[in-house]
Amino acid sequence: MSIHQGKTQSAAPRFGRLDADLAEVQSAIVRSREFLLSEQHPDGYWCGELEADSMLEADYIYLHTQLESGDPGRLQRALTEMMRYQNEDGSWSIYPGGPGNISLSVKCYSSAKLMGVEAGDPRLAKCRAWVLAHGGVVACNTFTKMYLCGLGEYDYDAVPAIPPEIVLFPRWFYFNIYEISSWSRSILVPLAIMYAKKPFKRIPSGQGIDELFVGGRANSILRLRRDRSSILSWRNFFIILDRLAHWAEAVHIRPLRTLALKQAEKWLLARLEMTDGLGAIYPAMLNAIIALRCLGYSEDDPQVIRARDEFEKLGIEEPANELMPEPTFRMQPCVSPVWDTAQAVFALGEAGVERADPRMIKAADWMLSKEVRHKGDWAMKVRNTEPGGWYFEFNNEFYPDTDDTAQVLLALNKVDNPRERYQHEVAERAIAWEFAMQCKNGGWGSFDKDNTKMIFQYIPFADHNAMLDPPTVDITGRMLEMLAGYGYTREDKRVEKAIRFIFREQEQDGSWFGRWGVNYIYGTFLVLRGLDAIGVDHLEPQIQQAAEWIRMVQNADGGWGETCGSYDDPNKRGVGVSTPSQTAWALLGLLAAGDDRSDSIAKGVRWLLTRQQPDGRWDESMQEGEGEVRQSIITGTGFPRVFYLAYTMYRQYFPLMALTSYQRTMERAS
């Protein structure tokens, strides 16, 4: 039976212990490969859209309201996009099918009112009831409250202090800014400028959100201030410091404020160079625009113009179509060309595209052009190391990361470049940089080394749950796979240290946590790939336990899936609707563990084959009811429990890798 006949995303798979015909697998690989190649940009790279939650559109409306700017038509289209994703109970969620989120719901409600939606509108009435039932505005996180302060909708004295003096702490000081994650750093420095300058935009009374405070705004905030535990703890220690900071702010005891603002401005301007906006990520870029205006930069200043242009580039205009009767505008949290290109090249190389194929060489040359050659924030803790490696976006020189670097190196290893010597030199620099970034416990974090001081999670403004960048097993697993490809073995002490780190982090059920992908399926597959590549025996109990866990969480339809809810509830590990990307991860993990003949493998491969579309692609979206908005299923992680994203190309290159790996394994076994 042809895999094209009557097969859709919801079609029932064909069960049975029947290995897929290798000719059928090969046909699917060819279609997938050709589709992926058709998506290559003329300049040589790949870049799929990144989808996230409605916070992006809500904040977009907030920014332009704060600055009295923006195209009215685009703002209206952003509102249309935002309102499409409201839940039936009135809330908004940070991932499709997830529970309502208080901060996001308040932001969306506020943004709707800023755009002229009346409080009596049934959609806002439902949201208002939900928000009040879940604690009201005071239950929001610090970032949401800071934005509301700029509109006069919250009190600056009631938000955790973010004094710009933090940039003055020397590098040897325990609490210096380089001890927090790079993304928090790029978000908080401009936010500290905003806190010091306290921007205020008076909005019409009808656009306010006083009705979202339980018991009224004044009483609600007063109760919040009084709700302080007397228990001696680090959290309450920082709360006391926070109150002292607010007192100093109120009585103008700020002897270092002018110096701090100058240093923060200098830090900000330096990191706006050689990048697509501060940190090249949405919240930092938004904060930077407001911070520049707070510092007195005019609307037509080149720095402001460039910052705003880079921010607007994240937008995507969508014309009206059958699913959307009105045109919409949405924002991306960032862009992923280096990451997508590295993954695509590696997958294509695995799938048999010639190493000297001009398209592969063009992609390799494009990646080589993105090598980091300047020292960034990472160098504050990693001295005497030559710059090397890659970032995630088109340009982000201050923030290369170990994960992108490892994946680019894996990709370059699939290409025979006429500039062989140059490519070799670049790879050697990058590997040396990777080893310099290895943490004390043997693992790798993403942007910084040993970014592990847990005390930072108790700081009052750390309620976005992303203050640290500790070493993770998913990155470490990819690192081992890359190092093996460049000839490293367990004889190297650094490699063995990484293996010990991975084994220490294994969960009792055999799985591994996935920091940068959803979730335990992601972490487990990358660990198994790395351990297999570096030569760890498949019969090791840790390997077999992990493989058994993967088999245990396979869905009845033959695929695998996992919801973002597993970050909140470990009992949901491996539980979720089957998706192409997560099914591919599970198959890759099992194959790396030496499983080539189980029913799980056969059913998983069949699941992928029956759901491939005629043009070679896979769909990874959900539509819960008739007339509902179709959304991508989230399989990517920004900040666990806070922010998730859908990499729209995951559903293409990971299934290709899985089918190729399966084909190769079966050919060896035959």
Q: Which of 399, 373, 378 is nearest to 388 (CA)?
A: 373
Is-catalytic flag, 403?
yes
Q: Could you say which of 59, 401, 403, 404 is catalytic?
A: 403
Q: Which distant-in-sequence residues (6+ apart) come within 8 Å of 635 by Cβ?
A: 517, 518, 522, 579, 581, 582, 620, 646, 647, 650
Give the type of residue at 12. A
Residue 467, both tokens: 């203050």
Q: How many CA atoms lie within 13 A of 31 on its CB side?
A: 20
CB 583 within 8 A of CB 3: no
311, amino acid identity: F
Q: What angle do CA 514, 408, 479 make, to 5 degrees?
A: 45
Report d(CA 527, CA 543) in Å as an integer: 9
Local structure of 264: helix, strand or coil: helix
Cα–Cα distances in angstroms (integers) from residue 668 to residues 18, 275, 465, 535, 596, in the given order? 18, 46, 46, 18, 10
CA distance 124 to 130: 10
What's the alpha-carbon Rg for the chain, to the nearest Å? Answer: 25
Question: Which residues lie below 8 Å from residue 278, measured CB to CB, with a gap of 6+?
Answer: 186, 190, 268, 271, 272, 284, 285, 287, 288, 307
65: left (phi over 0), alpha (psi -120 to 50) or beta: alpha
| Contacts with 315 (C-beta within 8 Å, 6 or more apart), sequence order | 60, 74, 329, 330, 331, 332
Q: Are 187 and 147 in contact (CB under 8 A)?
A: no
Compute the distance between CA of residue 197 and CA of residue 260 in angstroms, rounded to an integer.
12
User: Maximum Cα–Cα distance for the chain, whole Å?
Assistant: 80
Residue 470 structure tokens: 């500790």
| Sequence-distant (≥ 6) Cβ neighbours of residue 55 within 8 angstroms | 94, 104, 107, 643
Q: Which two tokens stand for residue 243?
A: 């109150």
The C-alpha angle 592, 597, 602, rounded to 5 degrees, equals 95
3-state SS class at 643: strand
| Secondary structure of residue 269 in the 3-state scheme | helix
Dihedrals phi, psi of 622, to nearest 5 degrees: -130, 150
Q: 307 near 292, Cβ under 8 Å? A: yes
Specify the length of the chain in residues.
670
Q: Where are the alpha helices (DSSP H) in 271-316?
A: 282-294, 302-312
**Taking a C-beta distance cutoff of 8 angstroms, is the pair 388, 366 a contact?**
no
CA distances to 136, 176, 237 from 180, in Å: 29, 8, 19
β-partners of residue 631 are: 622
| First and final C-alpha spacing in the chain | 23
Q: What residues are annotated to the active site?
A: 403
